[in-house]
Each structure stands twice: as C-alpha cells, then as structure tokens.
C-alpha cells in the first residue's frame, strides 16, 4: 500500500490518488483488501454480478453514507452503510438478498482506518445474512471527501401479503416505536468534541430485520414501518401524515427518551424527537394488535412503547378505505399533534435544515 507522506510523524500507510487510477495500486487495493473481504470466491472479477433471486417480487434500495467521525461509539461508517440499507429493505418487509458497495476514498486516508471499516462491512453483512456481490472504488483529492464516503444498494425479496407502506395506514391504527430515541445523534455529536460535552452513550446502530420478521412471522397486520434516521421520529411522522392526509396524535410523555439524550438536547437546544437514530423504527398497525406487537418489540428493546394513534374521523365513513378521512377538519388532515402531560396539544413542525450535519 501507500507509504507515509513526508509530513507524517510516523510511518502510516495512506490512500493515494493512484489507488483510484486503475493501475497497479488500484489492483493491489482490490486484490489485497476487497476481494479477500467480499469475494468472489473464485477471484474472477466481472462488470456485473449474477445471482438467483427466486420467484416473487423484489425490493430495491440505495443510500449514501457520510458521517464524521468515521469511527464512533457503537459503530463506524462501514457498519452503518450495511445496516442502513438492510433496514431500508426491512421497512417494506423484505429480506435482503444482495448488496453492492461503492467506496469514495479521500487521498491521505489511513489504510488502517480503511481496513477497519472494510472488516466492519464484512462482519455486519455476515450478521445480516446478506452477501456483498459487487462494488466500486474511487479516490478523490485530499480535502475533498471527509476521509471516506460509502454508497450501498440492496436487493431484497418480498414475501406474500399486503404491501407495507403509508397507503395502508388507517384511522384507529396504533403508533409504536421500537426503542428509546436519539442515541445515534447524541453519540455522534459527542464524538466530535466540538461542543465540549461528554457522554457514555453509544449509537443505537442495529439491524431492524429481526424485529420486523418477528412481527410478520406472527401474522400481525403491519400497515406501515419507517426507519428513524435523519430527522428522527419527527420527520418520519411528518412524512406519513403528509402522505396519508391523516391526523397522527402523539403522547409526548409516552415517547421513550434516555435521560442522557434528554439532558444533552436540553443543554444544546435540540429537539430529541428530531435527533437521528440508526436502530429504531416507528410502526403502524391495528390497535387490536398493538399489545402483541409491543411485546415483540420489547423482546428486542425493553424501551419500545405505544406512543399514539391515528385519529378516527369520528363520523360516518368507510374507515377501512380511508373515506372517513375527508370528514376531518381541514387543519387536522395531514398533521401531527403532540400532547404534553398537561393535555396541551401543539402541532409538530419541522426545521428547514438538519439539526446536525453529516450525522448518517
């Protein structure tokens, strides 16, 4: 690999522009680091991978990952890139079949850091039961890439049953979250050492696939799922209310927030409901099944909770088809109302930008 640059205080191998140039350094990077980590087993590289997908419909997702620092309490950008895409597939009820991986390396990145990230990708993919079948590597000039960017795409298989998504949400549905919120955002912020506070919190980074498959395996009528990443719970609720035109009523006291997250957000003037997560989801399903779903989720995260409900129109109408929705007051359609411990309600609004840059 690359030798240390003249300004290094010790001999640290680093990424060079030549690692992305298609020559011998590129071949060395692929042959010595990427092929041993991800295959192919026969060592033969081609322009595309082939695999058997089986019968039935497929799900497809892609996402880009930028985070600073690259390695943080509870994970790193490699683990994040795998689990993030697996979680996206899980949100439509899909089991992952294959991932692609694109690495955008910055000149000067320590090869030790890259090796650690690649090892994390391999470990996370194995834990999720999904192979990395194809990928690409590029190198950008020093100062142009925050060290490392990753893009992963995933293909998954969908099982039988109704489609999971916002169109299936109905008045009367219960709203649940799968655990306490905001850990990832606070852990990343603390790891940057920019605002002078410390915390023992680790990111909540974890695969949501096991909990989703457990819910579906019981035959629960899961209407919608949303992975609570950038923008946190607030963004997810806002999007579902907007897409369905329904009123979501949330009990603020029921939303699980770790004391350390609440304290950090109060100190910094941030909204814990808008803090990023990387191992939490929000779930919509019939109220009659809420207790059973909660028991499943609490088997993975004891802090899982029922936090609210989709408002019923309260007037005649076909609630199963959503026709009763048009009878709601205009101001309540497509809105999220938060009710505090004193019974006072306020409408959820979103900020114009991210609370924190490069969080996931």
Average pLDDT over residues 202-222: 96
Structural domains of the chain, ranges and CATH numbers in brackets: 17-158 (3.30.1330.10), 166-347 (3.90.650.10)
Among all chains, which residue has been given the structure tokens 């979680």?
A: 87
349 — pLDDT class (breaks 50, 70, 90): confident
Crossing angle for the helix pair 183-191 and 259-268, nearest 10 degrees?
60
Q: Give whole-number Cα distances, 330 to 226, 249, 289, in Å.
A: 25, 15, 29
Among all chains, which residue has been given the structure tokens 């609490």?
A: 298
Q: What is the pLDDT of residue 195?
A: 64
Among all chains, which residue has been given the structure tokens 């109220």?
A: 287
The CA distance from 246 to 156, in Å, is 30
Q: Is the confidence at residue 328, as pLDDT, over 70?
A: no
Q: Where are the beta strands (DSSP E) in 179-262?
A: 224-227, 247-251
Closest residue by Cα to residue 312 from 246, 267, 214: 246
Higher per-residue confidence, 353 vs 14: 14
Residue 142's DSSP bridge partners are none
Instruction: Count CB-CB contacts under 10 A for residue 84.
Output: 25
Please enumerate in sequence order all residues whose Cβ is within 8 A of that of 48, keeping only pairs 6 or more positions apart, or say none: 134
Average pLDDT over residues 223-247: 92
Report the relative pairing of strands 345-347 and 305-310 from DSSP bridges: unpaired
Q: Are 166 and 91 spatial neighbours (Cβ–Cβ below 8 Å)?
A: no
Q: Residue 177 has which token pair?
A: 């979250």
The CA distance from 159 to 95, in Å, is 8
Q: What is the pLDDT of residue 219?
A: 96
Q: Mean pLDDT, the chain, as a whole number?
A: 87
Average pLDDT over residues 212-222: 96
Q: Residue 200 has which token pair?
A: 């023992």
The DSSP call for residue 91 is T
The CA distance from 27 to 311, in Å, is 58
Q: Residue 205 has which token pair?
A: 């980074």
- Positive or negative CA dihedral for 289, 295, 299, 301? positive
Q: Is the confidence at residue 318, as pLDDT, over 90?
A: no
The CA distance from 116 to 77, in Å, is 10
Least confidently predicted of 45-59, 96-110, 227-241: 45-59
Q: Are 189 and 264 spatial neighbours (Cβ–Cβ below 8 Å)?
A: yes
Q: What is the pLDDT of residue 313?
A: 46
Most confident of 230-244, 252-266, 284-298, 328-342: 284-298
145 — pLDDT class (breaks 50, 70, 90): confident
Among all chains, which residue has been given the structure tokens 């770790």?
A: 258
Q: What is the pLDDT of residues 251-263, one digit of tens each?
A: 999 999 999 999 9
Q: What is the pLDDT of residues 1-51, one digit of tens each?
A: 455 554 554 568 899 988 877 788 888 888 889 888 887 766 666 667 767
Q: What is the pLDDT of residue 314?
A: 43
Average pLDDT over residues 96-124: 96
Q: What is the pLDDT of residue 319?
A: 42
Give the burial string for 95-118 (b: 16+ CB within 10 Å, else e): bbbbbbbbbbbbbbbbbebbeebb
Q: Give whole-number Cα distances, 20 to 31, 120, 132, 134, in Å.
A: 13, 22, 20, 17
């Amino acid at each position: 690999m690359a030798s240390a640059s003249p300004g290094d205080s010790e001999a640290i191998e680093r990424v060079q522009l030549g690692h992305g140039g298609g020559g011998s350094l590129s071949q060395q990077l692929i042959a010595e680091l990427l092929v041993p980590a991800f295959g192919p087993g026969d060592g033969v590289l081609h322009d595309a991978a082939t695999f058997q997908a089986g019968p039935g419909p497929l799900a497809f997702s892609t996402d880009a990952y930028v985070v600073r620092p690259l390695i943080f309490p509870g994970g790193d950008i490699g683990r994040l890139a795998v689990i993030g895409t697996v979680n996206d597939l899980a949100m439509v009820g899909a089991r992952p079949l294959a991932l692609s991986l694109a690495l955008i390396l910055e000149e000067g990145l320590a090869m030790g850091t890259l090796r650690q990230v690649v090892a994390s990708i391999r470990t996370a993919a194995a834990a999720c039961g999904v192979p990395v079948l194809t990928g690409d590597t590029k190198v950008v000039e020093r100062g142009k890439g925050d060290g490392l960017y990753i893009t992963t795409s995933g293909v998954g298989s969908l099982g039988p049953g109704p489609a999971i998504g916002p169109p299936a949400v109905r008045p009367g549905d219960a709203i649940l979250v799968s655990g306490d919120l905001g850990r990832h955002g606070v852990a990343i912020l603390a790891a940057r050492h920019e605002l002078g506070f410390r915390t023992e919190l680790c990111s909540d980074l974890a695969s949501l696939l096991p909990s989703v498959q457990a819910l579906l395996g019981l035959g629960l009528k899961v209407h919608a799922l949303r992975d609570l990443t950038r923008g946190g719970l607030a963004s997810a609720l806002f999007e579902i209310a907007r897409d369905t035109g329904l009123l979501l009523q949330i009990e603020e006291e029921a939303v699980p927030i770790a004391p350390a997250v609440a304290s950090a957000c109060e100190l910094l003037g941030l909204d814990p409901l808008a803090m990023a997560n990387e191992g939490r989801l929000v779930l919509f399903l019939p109220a009659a099944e809420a207790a059973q779903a909660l028991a499943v989720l609490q088997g993975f995260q004891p802090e899982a909770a029922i936090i609210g409900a989709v408002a019923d129109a309260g007037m005649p109408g076909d609630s199963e088809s959503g026709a009763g929705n048009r009878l709601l007051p205009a101001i309540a359609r497509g809105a999220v109302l938060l009710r505090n411990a004193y019974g006072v309600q306020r409408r959820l609004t979103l900020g114009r930008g991210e609370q924190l840059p490069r969080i996931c």
